[in-house]
Structure 1
Amino acid sequence: MTLEQLYANGVIPFDRSMLEGNGRFPSDAIEWLARHGLPRLEGGEVLGVSFLSPAIKRFDGEEFIMFASERWREDLWIGIGTDGAVYALGPVQGRRSFINSNLEVFLQFMAHVSRYLEAAKATDTGPTVMTRDVLQERLAALRNGKIRPAARATGFDRQFETERLECEFRTLDRAALKRDGWWCKIIEQLRDGLI
């Protein structure tokens, strides 16, 4: 998925006037928001992230342009710092965690993850749930040759696609993949099939 496709469902506009007299935010972040706004996502979110109308808010004594929230808690935010970087902002003693070097790269990462999730969903049938008795019956039938193992579905190779996604991320923003960072946790969950 490209940035253009990420914006396919419309735009959440940004009102530049909210920053009048505030010279603390980098002009490239403001220009990106003014020119492109934020994507209005199909289904409302990707990775539990929902985009909002940008607003300036104080967090732990600093100003941020808050532009997204995470559904896991009402007090988890994503914002642009005065350095232009994108941060996850949480309630634990002013916890702020670096995500990406700038908004455009963050949105490119989101587009790549959206593509990955669409590809995974197209061929992933999900787990099979059965009772212990049914499982024992099927195992016995398999051992007795009454049924053959199902052919493995081809298509999405999770390990390969996750490695490819990680390479794309490194090319776009190496700093975003620091150990225990926001994106490293996402990649780990994708690799394990948890997302």
Structure 2
Amino acid sequence: MSPMSFIRSIFSSQRPAVTNVDLEAQIPSTSAESTIPPSSPSPAATHAPRSVPSASTDGTTNPLDEFFGVTRPVSLIGTHESRHDSAAELPPPYESLPAYSESRDEEPVTLAMYLFKFGFLFPPFWIVGTLILFLSLSAPTDWHSEKPENQRQELLDIMRRTEVKWSKRCAFALVLLLVVVGVALGVGFGVMRG
């Protein structure tokens, strides 16, 4: 026996691998084949090459179960323990929009907000953001001219509160940066003299 024929005989007795099988998309088999445990092979059958097991009546098999010789009861409805089987597990539809989709709770985008965020890249922006605390906010005459004066004033108050909040954050970040730099310089001079 040549070495190549010996290698072919070893590999030919192995079952070919089944690839690209979506286990959750398979429909369970209802034939008697799937519930009968496999019988032990005869000694003569162990050396004969095996073929892929025949598919059930609906054309599907479970390759993992067949490979490991597992038999399990199969439900007649749905696939093997799939979470996608029943429509009863779907969440209820929204009756109204969630609260987070309402735009009233969102704060307006302001200059101080951008100055605070970009101050991490360029800290002098925090100085400009802090200066907004000392400036008054006035709207141009044509700003939201279609709205009544009381709504315009309400929008202006909301924007001013938001500007002050982000401006205070700029001031806090600036003070914190100055403290950290001061401590680092103090430690540096202390180490140099000591």
* TM-score bucket of the superposed structures, by smaller chain: under 0.3
- TM (norm. structure 1) is 0.18
Question: Which protein has the larger Cα radius of gyration, Structure 1 or Structure 2?
Answer: 2
Q: Which has the higher strand share?
A: 1
Q: Which has the higher contact order (CA 8 A, sep 6+)?
A: 2
Q: Which has the higher helix share?
A: 2
